[in-house]
Amino acid sequence: MTDFDRTIEAIYREEFGRVVASLVRRFGDIDIAEDAASEALVVALERWPVDGIPPNPGGWLTTTAGNRAIDKIRREKVRHSKHEAADMIRDDSPHEPIGMVEDDQLRLIFTCCHPALAPEARVALTLRLLGGLTVSEIANAFLVQETTMAQRITRAKGKIKAAHIPFRIPDASDVTDRLGTVLAVIYLIFNEGYLTSSGEPIRADLTDEAIRLGRIVRQLLPHEPEVTGLLALMLLTDARREARVADGELVILTEQDRSRWDRALLAEGNALVREALAPGVPGPYVLLAAINALHTAAADPRDTPWERIASMYDHLHAISPTPIVALNRAVAIAEVDGPQVALAQVDELPLTGYHAWHATRADFMRRLGRSDDARIEYDAAIAATDNDAERRYLARRRAQLG
C-alpha cells in the first residue's frame, strides 16, 4: 500500500460514518449503505491517485456510493421486481447540507445502540457503522473470533430489519433511556481502550474512536449535560494516557509524572465540566468528570482534595449505587478517614474476582501493615487481570511488602 493509499484510507475512515448514515436515511437499509460505501472506497482508490483528492471528499464518497447503490438496486429490481426497490430509486435526493448529515449520524447512532439489541451487538454495530472499523478490527479489539463478530453484526442488522427498528431520533416520550444507552456504548468503547483486557496497556484506536463519537454526539446534542459530561470524562482521562504507563508498568494516578499530562486536553475537559455542572443536578457522567477534574487540578498529588472527591462519590453513589462506585469511593475515604474504615466498606462489596477490588484491598491491607493478607490479595488481583502493565505494577507492589 502506498502512502497515498493510506491517506485515502484515512479520509475514508473519517468520512465513513457520515457516508453510511446518509445512505441509510436515503435507502432505509444498512446492508445497501455499507456495501455501497465499500464500493466507493474501491472507486476512490482507483480515481483519486489519478484525479487528485476532491475538494469535498465526503460529498464525493456519498454521491459515488449513492450511485453504486442505485445501480445495485436496479439490478436487483430486474431480478426480484421489488416494490421497495422501485421506491428507493425514485428518491433522488442529493448530498445533503451539513446539518442534515449530522442528523443522519445521530439517527444511526440511536439505531445501533437500540436497547432491543444485545449490548455487545450495540458496541460492534456502532464501531462498524459509525466508526468505520472493519469486522476483523472489532473482533481483535474484543478478543473474539472474526466469524463470531461477523455473526454478531449480521444478526443485529437482521433484527433491525425484521423487527423494524426505526432510523429515528427518539422523542421525549420514548419509554427507555435511549440517550443513556448511547452514552454507555461510547463509554464502554473508551474503557475497552483505556483499561484494555488484552495484553496491551492502552488501545489508543479505541479511546480515540470513543472520543470522536463523543464529539459527534456532543456536536449534535450540545445542551445535554450528560453528553458533555461523558466527553469531559473521556478527555480528562485520556489526557493522562502518556503518564499512565512507564517502562511497561502501570503508574497509578497519585504517582504519575504530572508534567506528562496533556494540558490542552485537560483544559478542554475542565471547560466542559464547568459547562456541564451549570444546569443543576448533575448526572453520573458529569459527576465522574467533575471527580476527574478535581484529581487533575492539583499540581502536587498531596494537594488532592480528597474530601470533595469523597463527597462527589457520595452523590454518585446516591444516583448510581453500584459496587464499582462504592469501591472508588472507598479509595477517597481511605485518604480522608484512613484505610481501616475504607477496608471495612470494601470488604462487603460483592466484587470477588474483580481485579480492582483485590488490588484496592491489597493496598489498604499494605497500609495497615497486614503484609500476609495483602500478599494474598495481590496474588488474586494479578490472577484476575490480563493487562500486562497492571500485572507488573501489582507484582512490584507485592514484592515490596515487608
Partner 1 sequence: MTQYMFSVIHGDLDYTEDEFAQIVKDVDAFNTKYADITVFAGGLEAPQNATMVDGTGGTPVVTDGPFAETKEHLGGFWVLEIADLDAALKLAAEASKACALPLEVRPFQAEPPA
The contact set with partner 1 (CB under 8 A) reads 80-83, 114, 116, 162-166, 168, 170, 173-176
Minimal distance in Å, beta carbon 181 to partner 1? 13
Q: For partner 1, which is the closer residue by CB, 170 or 282?
A: 170
Q: For partner 1, which is the closer residue by CB, 56 or 176?
A: 176
Minimal distance in Å, beta carbon 173 to partner 1? 7
Q: For partner 1, which is the closer residue by CB, 114 or 240?
A: 114
Q: What is the DSSP letter of 250?
A: E
Q: For partner 1, which is the closer residue by CB, 110 or 378?
A: 110
Minimal distance in Å, beta carbon 85 to partner 1? 10
Minimal distance in Å, beta carbon 292 to partner 1? 34
Report which of 180, 205, 207 is spatially closest to residue 191, judged by C-alpha positions.
Answer: 207
Instruction: Calculate Rg over the CA atoms of the chain.
Output: 24
Three-class secondary structure assignment of 151-204:
HHHHHHHHHHHHCCCCCCCCCCCCCCCHHHHHHHHHHHHHHHHHCCCCCCCCCH
SS3 content of the chain, % helix, strand, coil (to 5): 75, 0, 25
What would the grid cell of residue 393 be? 505494577
Q: For partner 1, which is the closer residue by CB, 176 or 400?
A: 176
Give CA–CA dist 279/123, Å, rounded: 30
Give CA–CA dist 63/42, Å, rounded: 14
Distances in whole angstroms, Cα of residue 34 to Cα of each of 27, 39, 89, 148? 11, 9, 17, 19
Return phi, psi of residue 250, to 5°.
-65, 135
Q: For partner 1, which is the closer residue by CB, 119 or 166?
A: 166
Give CA–CA dist 302/306, Å, rounded: 10
Cβ 143 vs Cβ 135: under 8 Å? no
Give CA–CA dist 89/391, Å, rounded: 57
Residue with cell 489498604: 364
Q: For partner 1, which is the closer residue by CB, 108 or 326?
A: 108
